[in-house]
Amino acid sequence: MTLIRSWVETANDPDCPFPLNNLPYGVFSTAGTKPRCGVAIGDQVLDVTALERAGLLHLGDTPLLDRAAWNPLMAAGPVVWNRLRTILFGHLAEGAGTRDQIEAHLHPLSAATLHLPFNVTEYTDFYAGRQHAENMGSIMRGSPDLPANWLHIPIGYNGRASSVVVSGTPIHRPLGQTKSPDADAPTLGPTKRLDIELEMGAIVGTSSPFGAPITTETADAMIFGYVLLNDWSARDIQGWEYQPLGPFQGKAFGTSISPWIVTAAALEPFRTSVPERVKPLLPYLTESKPGLYDISLQVLMQPEGAKTATVVSETNYSRMYYSAAQQLTHHALGGCGMRTGDLLGSGTISGPNKSEYGSLMEMSWAGREPFTLDTGETRSFIEDGDTLTLRGAAKGSGYTIGFGDCTGKILPAKRNPFVG
């Protein structure tokens, strides 16, 4: 696939994250206006809510873009998804006859505030990166051996949709119970081991009914698009609470997502297979087409007052062991209905080298090996005032599919009368 040229000149730059090939979906507002649906093109955002109202974008008998969320369009299914993409291509391609009418609905991205692009219905987080699972085994249990279920099941837990926030939302250092190994009793206080998890989020478009398992083919077709996802984690809180039921407060204080939904259609040229199976999967999890995407990923860390951010990790989504379609298939296996707006976290993405680890827990090996930033400061975990940013890009021939930054700054813990 090569660059599809647009009359929005900035979209034709090979490094621009939003060429015509991408057309990611967000929700934006400008000064004094309400949030509405927008599509990024070059350095502009196209107000598609206004286009639909003006009759320049006809998707069906009822409006699908009149709310500050993409859920109605997502629920409408792949035929309508393709119709919208085709109409947008027609309006934005080089030589389009409607240019004058469309141009009136463009706004500079630099003047736009971005909001959550969809209403998150439910949030499930997986643990599907093999290197990450092996690293965590080595750190926590002294052995990289995977749990007995790991090579057979994409394991996960049900998180909280209410804790999902859009990039740019500051996160307060959470309070929680922790207990050091030599203490008799736990104490309440701010986490001392605040961490990130570099993940991709898959967004369910069309729903599946309660009581009805799905195939991997159906699951793949249900996925509307992807975002970058930072599953902020409090390792000390998690370490005390997680046995035997798994993550709870250590994961419930914030999950940041990038502001643009990059559609599965835009990512189609970048499909790549899951790694070779170590053990055969049960047949219901086998895939008929490659389920991952070649998306390069970066983590950047910037302390308060530092002029530049340090790249602390670089890896690729193709490192995952399970695809989002496999995770969705397994999720619905027992009859769990999946709904429009469900968000599936991939699990932390780590590659085999230390420079490819997707959490600070791994980068600093639980604090035993602090790492150095470009400013000369060292870090094991996140300190107050640090800003963490995830970036992702799929590189085509002469174009880039970008996601927009997934960023968040850590603020000090809020005061609490029970903390001395």
Q: 226 with 265: CB under 8 angstroms?
A: no
How far apart CA 117 and CA 107 sit, in angstroms, is 17
Q: Residue 409 carries which DSSP code?
A: E
Tell me the two tokens of residue 99: 């240019």
Q: Which of 132, 172, 330, 331 is catalytic?
A: 132
Smallest distance from the beta carbon of 215 to Ca ion, in angstroms? 26
Provide the mask over 252-291, with x wherever binding to Ca ion is found by CB under 5 A and - wherever it is not: ----------------------------------------
386 belongs to the binding site for Ca ion (CB under 5 A): no
Report the alpha-carbon distance of residue 23 to residue 44 in Å, rounded.
11
Beta-bridge partners for 98: none
Beta bridge partners of 234: 194
231 binds Ca ion per the rule CB under 5 A? yes
In order of 109, 157, 217, 373, the CA distances from 283 in angstroms are 46, 23, 13, 46
By beta-carbon proximity to Ca ion, the closer residue of 45 and 406 is: 406
- Residue from 47, 52, 122, 125 touching Ca ion (CB under 5 A): that is 125
Q: Are 115 and 68 in contact (CB under 8 A)?
A: yes
Sequence-separated (6 or more) residues with CB below 8 Å from residue 296 = 314, 315, 316, 392, 393, 394, 395
Q: Is the dihedral of CA 290, 295, 301, 305 positive or negative?
A: negative
Q: Least separation, in Å, of the C-beta of 312 and Ca ion?
A: 18
Q: Which 3 state secondary structure label does DSSP give 192?
A: coil
Stretch that binds Ca ion, among 98-106, 229-237, 379-387, 396-404 (CB under 5 A): 229-237
Nearer to Ca ion, 17 or 358 (CB): 358
Facing residues of 410 across strands?
A: 171
If the CB atoms of residues 303 and 358 are measured against Ca ion, the closer one turns out to be 358
Q: Cα angle at 262 between 352 and 327, to 5 degrees? A: 55
Binding piece for Ca ion, criterion CB under 5 A, among 57-65, 110-118, 189-197, 270-278: 189-197
Q: Which is nearer to Ca ion, 64 or 196 (CB)?
A: 196
- Single out the residue of 47, 52, 122, 197 in contact with Ca ion (rule: CB under 5 A): 197
Q: What is the Cα–Cα distance from 314 to 303, expressed in whole angstroms?
A: 19
Subset of residues 326 to 355 that bind Ca ion, contact rule: CB under 5 A: none
Minimal distance, residue 247 CB to Ca ion, in Å: 8
φ and ψ of 389, to 5 deg = -130, 135
CB of 351 to Ca ion, least distance (A): 16
Name the residue with the smallest CB distance to Ca ion: 231
Shortest spacing between CB 228 and Ca ion, in angstroms: 13
- Which residues lie below 8 Å from residue 199, measured CB to CB, with a gap of 6+? 125, 228, 229, 230, 231, 345, 346, 347, 348, 349, 358
Q: Which is nearer to Ca ion, 197 or 386 (by Cβ)?
A: 197
- Bridge partners of 114, per DSSP, are 28
Tokens matching residue 301: 């860390």
Return the range that interacts with Ca ion (CB under 5 A); candidates 56-64, 183-191, 194-202, 395-403: 194-202
Give the range of 78-86, 148-156, 175-183, 231-239 binding Ca ion by CB under 5 A: 231-239
Q: Which range, of 53-61, 169-177, 230-238, 313-321, touches Ca ion by CB under 5 A?
A: 230-238
Q: How far is the CB of 361 from Ca ion (least distance, A)?
A: 11
The residue range among 120-128, 277-285, 308-316, 334-342 that interacts with Ca ion, by the rule CB under 5 A, is 120-128
Contact 198, 225 (CB under 8 A): no
**Of the two residues 102 and 324, which places its CB atom closer to Ca ion in the complex?**
324
Residue 400 CB neighbour total at 10 angstroms: 19
**Local structure of residue 89 (DSSP, 8 states):** H
Question: Per CB under 5 A, which of residues 401..420 are in contact with Ca ion?
Answer: none
100, exposed or middle or buried, with CB in 10 Å at 0-12, 13-18, 19+? exposed
Q: Is 132 a catalytic residue?
A: yes
Residue 127 or residue 270: which is nearer to Ca ion going by CB? 127
Q: Which is closer to Ca ion, CB of 125 or CB of 386?
A: 125
Residue 201 beta carbon to Ca ion: minimum distance, rounded to whole angstroms: 10
Q: How many residues bind Ca ion (CB under 5 A)?
A: 3
Does the protein bind Ca ion through residue 47 (CB under 5 A)? no
Q: Which residues are catalytic?
A: 132
Q: List residues binding Ca ion (CB under 5 A).
A: 125, 197, 231
